[in-house]
Amino acid sequence: MSAAAGRVYDLGFRRYEGPREGRRCAVLAVYKNGLRTALGLGRGGRAKVVPWLFISASLIPAVVMALIAGAVDRAAPGFDASKSLPSHAHYYAIAAIVMVVFVAVIGAELYCPDRRNGTISLYLVRPLRPADYAAARWAALVTVVVAAAWLPQVVLLGGLVLGAADPIGYLGAHWADIPRFLLAGAALAVYYASLASVVSAYATRRAYAAAFVVGAFIVSGAVVAGVVDVLSRETGRWLALLSLPDVPLYVNDLIFGASTAGTTAAEHLPAAVQVGWFLLVSAVATLATLDRYRRLAR
């Protein structure tokens, strides 16, 4: 019998000798990739359609309101658009459904494909913990939703200022709306992103995750509204906290000192209860997402 023969080929591979940037840079890379994925950057045209379509849809009410305010101010110089037309305090309630659908679709795009395609295993062979991956994805989602929430408010502010008979005087009288809509927008983004993340962390298909998030908001709002009407006032106020779409609007109302549509059921509860419930729901959803990814590594 002849001895077995073998050959060794030199394929030219070399060991990586560059800098090893470690865990922090790995988390930052996942975060940056999440931003690009959410906005469809570096991908085909079809990937850009959905995110930019929703961003454009969220801008439409702001543009329309700004144009109306400017036209009325010119026709009636004594007219105060901030008191007679929907303004910064009401904008998030008006655009809430667009924001919910937007965060549901983008959240599913960030989380589901990596698990369904097995890419998450490649991420975790790097100096990256499962919780790091989940936190980076969550931060990317919050960043995109914050930008989508703030941009229409900036457009609305610009329209109201430029459309006013005295732009400088208008800005001086309403400058406090700027930190208010920034804070309220950040709060809404954290809430929406936390709930979308926990659903997408357990779903494997993007369509199912997005549909579940949107359905949960719509159904909880409708069911709670119907049940509250047949209960006593005191019981109804507490039950109203279970309406998912209204929870962030309570915080919005507290920030602006206003009352927006759809938030009347629990508006007389103490502010500490409203804010505490908002923080609790957001925190529980975020911690559940992190725990889900910790379990994936076991």
pLDDT in tens, 44-87: 777 788 788 888 888 888 888 777 766 665 555 555 555 556 67
Taken as a whole, the chain contains a residue count of 298
Residue 4 banded pLDDT, cuts 50, 70, 90: low
pLDDT band at 221 (very low <50, low <70, confident <90, very high): confident
Q: Residues 177-214: pLDDT tens digits?
A: 899 999 999 999 999 999 999 999 998 888 999 999 99
CA–CA separation, 107 vs 109, rounded Å? 5
Rounded mean pLDDT of 97-114?
A: 90
Residue 109 lies in a domain: yes
- Would you state the pLDDT for residue 86? 66
Task: Report which of 270, 250, 109, 87 is spatially closest to residue 176, judged by C-alpha positions.
Answer: 87
Using alpha carbons, list the distances in angstroms from residue 5 to 1, 2, 8, 51, 55: 12, 9, 10, 58, 64
Q: Which of 162-166, 226-230, 262-266 has the lowest mean pLDDT?
A: 262-266
- The predicted structure's pLDDT at residue 228: 74
CB 197 within 8 A of CB 289: yes
Inside any domain, residue 232: yes
Give the pLDDT of residue 58: 82
Asked if residue 141 belongs to a domain, the reply is yes
Orientation angle between helical segments 177-202 and 271-296, nearest 10 degrees: 40
Of the candidates 206, 283, 199, 200, the residue with the CA atom closest to the CA atom of residue 247 = 283
Q: Are 141 and 197 in contact (CB under 8 A)?
A: yes
CA 179/CA 265 separation, integer angstroms:
27
The HSE-up count of residue 99 (CA atoms within 13 Å, CB side) is 32
- Examine the pLDDT at 114 and tell me if it is beyond 90: no
Check residue 11 and give its pLDDT.
66
Q: Is residue 12 in a domain? A: no
Tell me what percent of the chain is helix, strand and coil, each rounded to the nearest 5.
75, 0, 25
**Domain extent at residue 158:** 22-296
Residue 53 resides in a domain? yes
Least confident of 52-66, 98-112, 136-150, 251-265: 251-265
Number of domains the chain is built from? 1
In a domain, 241, yes or no: yes
**pTM for the predicted model, two decimal places:** 0.85
- Write down the mean pLDDT value for the chain: 83
Q: Which pLDDT belongs to residue 226?
A: 80
Check residue 288 and give its pLDDT: 93
Question: Is pLDDT larger for residue 225 or for residue 266?
Answer: 225
Cα 220 from chain centroid (whole Å): 19
Give the tokens for residue 158.
């610009």
pLDDT confidence bin for 261, thresholds 50/70/90: low
Any domain includes 10: no
- Distance of alpha carbon 193 from alpha carbon 146, whole angstroms: 10
Asked if the structure places residue 13 within a domain, the reply is no
Is residue 6's pLDDT more than 90?
Answer: no
pLDDT of residue 72: 62
More confident residue, 126 or 199: 199
25: number of CA atoms within 13 Å, CB side? 4
